[in-house]
Structure 1
Amino acid sequence: MNAHSSAASAARSAQDSTVFRVLARIGYVVLGILHILIGAIAVSIAMGGGGGEADQGGAMQQIQKSPAGVVLLWIIVFGLVALAIWQIAEAVVERDPDTKKKWGYRVKFIGTAVAYIAIAWTALTYALGGQSQSSESSQSFSAQLLAAPAGVAMLVLLGLVVTAIGIAFIVRGITRAFKKHLHLPAGAARSGIITLGVVGYIAKGIAVAVTGVLFVVAALTHDPETAGGLDSALRTLAGLPFGAIILWTVGAGLVLYGLFCFARARYARM
């Protein structure tokens, strides 16, 4: 048995495990909680409050301060790691030997897994008593990249990739492509879940796309402080004409995306 076959067999065993499926569904619940917290912080900023950092770090900080916060953070770590492994399994497992998964399909799942692992790492940092400022990390990374040979081009490329991911979220929301990954119930519940998905995906796409644009601006202006991650992206929206309304709308959309994640935990195809 070659290495690829061994990896595929291990991934298939994980997917067939009831315990692992439960952990992966908990991962979706975790994502929901994080997006609701980030959205609530964004709404607070839009209404003139301090709110904190409107990103994963800010959400983790809120959880860290709550009763049983450390326990919750460890649940987040395990849930997201399980969800990441599930995404990797989706990329490598061939359920139908007559149908080969396209490379774009595989890349999407691997990229999603990497994102979940990154969030899990942030949760682990807070669970161990530390803190993480994603805006400062993004600025530091941008500065290091700009100082490298061809750094401007690499940072522009990174920004374009992040922007493309944001646009993909928007398109997925508009086209309702997320439905194919769900066993949707009938009736009003189905319509409600679809509405949450459409609005949530579009709102998240806007936030991610603006983050990507900020990376491009940082590269073209040679100003790494411009690239500040999700929190800076949302605060940039607040600085636009009618920015408070735009930020409030995006923040509310992120809350709805969080609620959609709860529904996804229940109805995801696994």
Structure 2
Amino acid sequence: MSETVRNAASDAGDHPVVRAGARVGYAASGVLHLLIGWLALQLAWAGGSGSADQSGAFAQLSATPVGAVLLWVVTAGFALLGLWQLTELIGPGEAKDKIKSLGKGVLYLVLAGTALRIAAGGSSSGGGEQTSSMTGTLMAQPFGRILVAVVGTVVIGVGVYHVVKGARATFLRDLRENPGRWITGAGRLGYIAKGIALVLVGGLFVLAAVQSDPEEAQGLDGALKALLELPLGSVLLSVVAFGIAFYGVYSFGRARYAKV
């Protein structure tokens, strides 16, 4: 890779607008997770009709008096955070860190696209149908069931990583200084809860592969609804809902203390 490209990427990542936008993106993540936690809590006790996932959260946000403006701010924040993550691919660093930056960059850009679609008046339907459709397409390929199982296994691995990261509080390495006891505690609970949700999502993909049924593969909303089918499901879902909300609280702290 030429020195010119490296310098351009470095300049983009260090640009004040991109760095400030990345912090707005972390704050947007805080809003997103608080709303998902609230939707999940409604699902646990009131049978909420909204999807307890990113699309449902953005739809909830758009319904507020200042929702249209906030959605555009959220879109810009996620887009700039995604751009900043992608600039981390250029330059020195370990391969595993670059893979993480790539994954996060793509995720934040997808979230920006989802928020943009809803801000522009597009559909706010949940991701369950899209996930099932994607899984069906994947299963139609050679060795499709194996590919779906691999996807599920990877998601489970990411979920376990989040649980361990929360339990050991290694997320503090992402911050330039200790944010204090309350933010650290919220981060611990938030990472563990988010990890549990990801393990459930990955488990549904593996189940879809085993049963050769794309409909079994669900996104976050489907995973949270699966908790309701367990004994004391409402209680378990409530615990995860509060945990996701705690991750939102941590994200606000991260917006201030992150190494950007």
Q: Which moved more, 1:41-50 or 1:247-256?
A: 41-50
Match of 1:108 in 2: 100
Aligned mate of 1:143, from 136, 144, 162: 136
Aligned mate of 1:246, from 233, 236, 254: 236
Match of 2:147 in 1: 154
Change in Cα spacing, 1:145 to 1:78, as seen in structure 2 (3 Å) is same
Q: Which moved more, 1:52-61 or 1:16-25?
A: 16-25
Whole-angstrom distance in 2 between the partners of 1:197 and 1:50 = 26
Shift of 1:128: 1.4
Q: Please say if 1:204 is aligned against 2:198.
A: no
Match of 1:195 in 2: 185
Aligned length: 259
Q: Is the 8 A contact 2:126 2:221 kept in 1?
A: no
Shift of 1:223: 1.3
Whole-angstrom distance in 2 between the partners of 1:152 and 1:199 = 34
Whole-angstrom distance in 1 between the partners of 2:188 and 2:200 = 19
Q: Please say if 1:235 is aligned against 2:225.
A: yes
Give the CA RMSD over aligned residues: 1.4
Gaps of 5+ in 2: none
Q: Is the 8 A contact 2:53 2:126 kept in 1?
A: no
Shift of 1:241: 1.3
Whole-angstrom distance in 2 between the partners of 1:176 and 1:107 = 21
Shift of 1:54: 0.4
Gaps of 5+ in 1: 95-100
**Identity of paired residues, percent?**
40
Shift of 1:51: 4.7
Matched position secondary structure for 1:149 = coil
Whole-angstrom distance in 1 between the partners of 2:189 and 2:49 = 23
Matched position secondary structure for 2:247 = helix
Match of 1:121 in 2: 113
Match of 1:98 in 2: none
Q: Is the 8 A contact 1:142 1:155 kept in 2?
A: yes
Whole-angstrom distance in 2 between the partners of 1:7 and 1:42 = 44
Match of 1:16 in 2: 14
Match of 2:258 in 1: 268
Runs (4+) of structure 1 exceeding 6 A deviation are: none
